[in-house]
Amino acid sequence: MAKIVLAGEDLEWMDSVRATIESMGHEVFFVESALDVVDEVLEQEAALAVLDESMATFDGYEVAQMLRDEPNVPDVFSVLLLVSEGAVSGRLERAGVSECFVKGHNSAELSDLLVKMLGDEAGVGLEDEAADFLKG
């Protein structure tokens, strides 16, 4: 399973997102400060960053851009932005956001999006691997 950095200041919403991610078997590293995201992603060798759109100091778009500008973060690194309303696609693209998720949607929709974003690290296909092992 994947290591995921979660960043935001709305603790109630972050707890809900954390619970969804952990229920999928992933390890969550929570940071409140936007200033700590890049360091935490690098330290944990995270597969994904989940960022709240609104944070003090830097917003989620700016933090996504910081991740994209960091030479030690792989180009294929995924960034999920949590937004309150529909986000402006041009701004998402410029910041390097991989996907966005509208707050308030249910956890099943968030889980589906995480599986899509994480691919093999989400545990997708583990049933097939187990079946192949048992046949083998």
pLDDT in tens, 1-48: 899 999 998 888 899 999 999 999 999 999 988 999 999 999 999 999
Domains of the chain, CATH where assigned: 3-135 (3.40.50.2300)
pLDDT in tens, 73-84: 999 999 999 998
Length of the chain, please? Answer: 136
Q: With CA atoms as reference, report the closest residue to 111 among 13, 16, 32.
A: 16
Sheet holding 99-102, edge to edge: 27-31, 3-7, 48-52, 78-83, 99-102
Give, in order, the Cα–Cα distances in Å from 135 to each of 44, 128, 132.
35, 11, 5
Give, in order, the Cα–Cα distances in Å from 57 to each of 12, 30, 38, 71, 118.
20, 17, 14, 22, 28
